[in-house]
Amino acid sequence: MNRRRFLQAGSSLALTALASSHLAFGADAEIVLSTDKPGEVISPHIYGHFIEHLGGVIYDGVWVGRNSAIPNIDGIRKQFVDDMKLIGAPNLRWPGGCFADGYHWRDGIGKARPRTHNFWQRRMPAGTDSTETNQFGIHEFMHLCRLIGTEPYVAANVGSSTPAEFHDWISYCNAPAGTLSLADERAKNGDPQPFNIQYWGVGNESWGCGGLMRPEEYAQKYRQFVTQFPNYKEPFLVATGPRGHSADEDIGWTTGFFEGMRGFDPPNGFSIHFYTDLRPTPLKAADFNVPEWYEVLLRGVRIDKVISDHWQEMGKFDTKRRTKFVVDEWGVWYKAGEELTPSYILSQPITMREAVHTGLTFDIFNRHADKIAMANVAQTVNCIHSLFLARGDKFVRTPVYHVFDMYRVHMGARQVPFTNPVAELNVPVLAGQARLPGLSASASMRDRRLAVTMTNPSAESSVKMRLRISGGARPTEARGTVLTHPDMHAGNTFSHPEEVKPGALPVTLSGDAVEVALPRNSVAVVECMLA
Ligand code: AHR
């Protein structure tokens, strides 16, 4: 990016803060960035999404219907499309989740769509009509993906289906019109062009709602489901992986699955689900104290070890490292009781705590860029760790949305190694004291543009940072953006949709360094042009 485009991009964010003075600063710590030793490319797919037929996620969150007064494009909520485009959403997983293993794709095509059972009915408030209307099927999903410009990732039914139903769905989606009858049926239903879906999940949580299987049973099912895969488009196949947030990390699932796959081609992707699962605790989403702030962050950063441990286990079998992780469900999940409205089950308020958790999680994903092919937040709208809350004509971006926006800079850029000498924090948590990173960061380069994202998880103190560039390059311009709020409980509501939003972060150029002060509970991005 040249200088003019860099400045224009900054002004479009309305957040430019350029400076070139040499002020006395007194940094608490210095990060040294080795821009001359770029590392792995960070897969854009790490910043991915997930929507499920559950509560208010699809119906209302995404699909408002063609006759709705809410601005829509062929029934799809326009604001959702526009905002997903703004953050460059790289992929979208659908239709579940647990819903996927009860879903039969034919129910969602054609004019007459049946009303069917939805897995989540059991959780809906008594008296709510929660049968699945199937108004949103594969055609509507693909129109949504095309409108956003995002890659579809479809989770197929293994738990209550057959390989034949799976293969027919793939053929329906991917075979060219004029070849198979299934492809002609797709054309008759409005889409002559093949969908060319590459990412297929072979089941979901097969150890739980996806069929209560043992790993070796699932490995056998997986083989049956993929052996005769209709190869119209080279697939990226994702096998069900562990429940990473289990106390034992569910390492046994990984061992059992790969044991069961000995002698066969391993999948391209192995899913990990990792929820920062507060459901067994009394913790609330909107109302919390300082130890509860740290408790959530502490449980969140556990994903770092879960990724390393499963990678090590997988390496015992997949010595050529043909399989990468797909962390296709992650987020902070609180117990029920704070929903947007009772029938929007699993929807929860999103505060600065989730924003900081998101920054910490993305830094961990970026550090493991060599292991992670994709990740999908659970779930994008009206759900657990959402970027958007929607109800009727009301729509709001949560603090999590803004973190996704700030981390866009890393999508497809090269990691930059750096030292991070900021001392760990000794923090109060539910069970006494614990240690948390004092500052979490990611750095990447694209052309001559360096981007450093930083998260200050402290509920009490700001931190002054000096970002020094080693290897002879010098920053010629820099700008900073920060997401923070004086009240760590703050979030965006329908009545206060912009309570939490990014603002300019003053930056100072000082020789080969950029200096910034990060407020407590904040997520920041500093972008510099290097000469
Ligand atoms: O995201 C909500 C649910 O959590 C998904 O349906 C399931 O896969 C997981 O248990």
Q: Is 16 exposed, middle or buried (0-12, 13-18, 19+ CB in 10 A)?
A: buried
Percent above pLDDT 70 for the chain: 95
Distance 104 CA to ligand 1 centre (A): 18
pLDDT digits (tens, 9 = 90+) for 129-156: 889 999 999 999 999 999 999 999 999 9
Q: Is the pLDDT of residue 362 over 70?
A: yes
Please state the pTM of the whole predicted model: 0.94
Give the per-residue pLDDT at 331: 98
Strands 440-446 and 449-456 turn out to be antiparallel
Residue 5: pLDDT above 90?
no
Strands (E), 347-393: 372-377, 388-391
> What is the residue with the minimal CA distance to atom 4 of ligand 1?
97
pLDDT for the residue 27: 79
The answer to whether 475 touches 416, Cβ cutoff 8 Å, is no
pLDDT on residue 19: 36
Q: Which residue has the tokens 């206060």?
A: 496
Distances (CA, A) of 275 to 16, 242, 245, 299, 331: 35, 12, 6, 9, 5
Atom number in ligand 1 closest to CA 378: 1
Q: What is the pLDDT of residues 84-95, one digit of tens each?
A: 999 999 999 999
Q: Which atom of ligand 1 is nearest to the CA of 99?
A: 6
Cα-to-centroid distance, 124 and ligand 1 (Å): 15
pLDDT at 130: 82
Q: Is the peptide bond before 190 cis (omega within 30 degrees of 0)?
A: no
| Catalytic site residue from 205, 249, 339, 477 | 205
Active site residue 205: yes
Q: Give the model confidence (pLDDT) of 418-437 as tens digits.
A: 999 999 999 999 999 999 99
C-alpha 295/C-alpha 279 separation (Å) is: 13
Q: Please state the atom number of ligand 1 nearest to the C-alpha of residue 120.
A: 6
pLDDT of residue 21 exceeding 90: no
Element (H, E) at 478: strand 475-484
- Tell me how far apart the alpha carbons of residues 145 and 380 are, in angstroms, rounded to a whole number: 14
Q: Helix 303-315 to helix 352-367 angle, to the nearest 10 degrees?
A: 30
Residues sharing a CB contact under 8 Å with residue 122, sequence separation 6 or more, in sequence order? none
Q: How far is CA 157 from CA 232, 403, 445, in A?
A: 20, 32, 40
How is residue 530 written in tokens? 């290097």
pLDDT in tens, 162-211: 999 999 999 999 999 999 999 999 999 999 999 999 999 999 999 999 99
Reduce the DSSP state of residue 509 to 3 states and report it.
strand
Strands (E), 74-209: 76-77, 91-94, 151-156, 199-202
Tokens read off for 66: 């063609």
Mutate to test the pocket of ligand 1, among 50, 52, 99, 274 (most ligand atoms within 8 A of CB): 52
Share of residues in the chain with pLDDT > 90 (%): 93
Chain-centroid distance of CA 435 in Å reads 25
* H-helix or E-strand spanning residue 346: none
Task: Judge whether 498 counts as a catalytic residue.
Answer: no
Under DSSP, the state recorded for 28 is: S
Beta-carbon contacts of 125 under 8 Å, excluding residues fewer than 6 positions away, are: 342, 343
- Residue 97 alpha carbon to ligand 1 centre in Å: 5
Per DSSP, the residues of 235-263 read: -EEEE---BTTSTTTTHHHHHHHHHHTTT
* Atom number, ligand 1, closest to the C-alpha of residue 384: 1
> Which pLDDT value is given to residue 137?
98
**Which one of the listed residues 52, 249, 329, 515 is annotated catalytic?**
329
Nearest-CA neighbor of 520 among 287, 293, 277, 299? Answer: 293
Give the single-character DSSP code of 59. Answer: B
Mean pLDDT of all residues in 61-74: 98
Residue 25 has pLDDT above 90, yes or no: no
Cross-strand bridge partners of residue 524:
454, 482
Antiparallel, parallel or unpaired: β 503-504 and 236-239: unpaired
In the DSSP assignment, the letter for residue 515 is E
CA distance 22 to 48: 40
Cα 281 to ligand 1 centre (Å) = 18
| pLDDT for 356 beyond 50 | yes
- The residues, any chain, with a CB within 8 Å of residue 24's CB and separated by 6 or more, are none
| 524 contact partners, CB below 8 Å, separation of at least 6 | 406, 453, 454, 455, 456, 480, 481, 482, 483, 505, 516, 518
Q: Which residues of 301-322 are buried (b: 16+ CB within 10 A; e: fewer)?
A: bebbebbebbbebbeebbeeee
Task: Give tens-digit pLDDT for 206-257.
Answer: 999 999 999 999 999 999 999 999 999 999 999 999 999 999 999 999 999 9
pLDDT of residue 129: 82
Q: Where are the alpha helices (DSSP H) in 14-152?
A: 78-86, 138-148
What is the average pLDDT across 374-397?
98
Cis peptide before 415 (omega within 30 of 0): no
Element (H, E) at 358: helix 352-367
pLDDT score for 472: 87
* H and E: helices and strands count for the chain: 11, 25
Residues with CB under 6 A from ligand 1: 52, 96-98, 204-205, 329, 378-379, 384
Q: Taking 70 as the threshold, does the pLDDT of residue 11 lie above it?
A: no
> What average pLDDT does the chain have?
94
355 and 405 in contact (C-beta within 8 Å)?
no
Total residue length of the chain: 531
Name the closest-CA residue to atom 2, ligand 1.
97
CA distances to 103, 212, 274 from 94, rounded to whole Å, are 11, 21, 18
Please report the pLDDT score of residue 471 as a whole number.
85
Nearest protein CA to atom 3 of ligand 1, as residue: 97
333: β partners: 277
Q: How far apart are CA 84 and CA 149, in angstroms?
A: 9
Instruction: Decide: 239 and 269 in contact? Cβ < 8 Å.
Output: yes
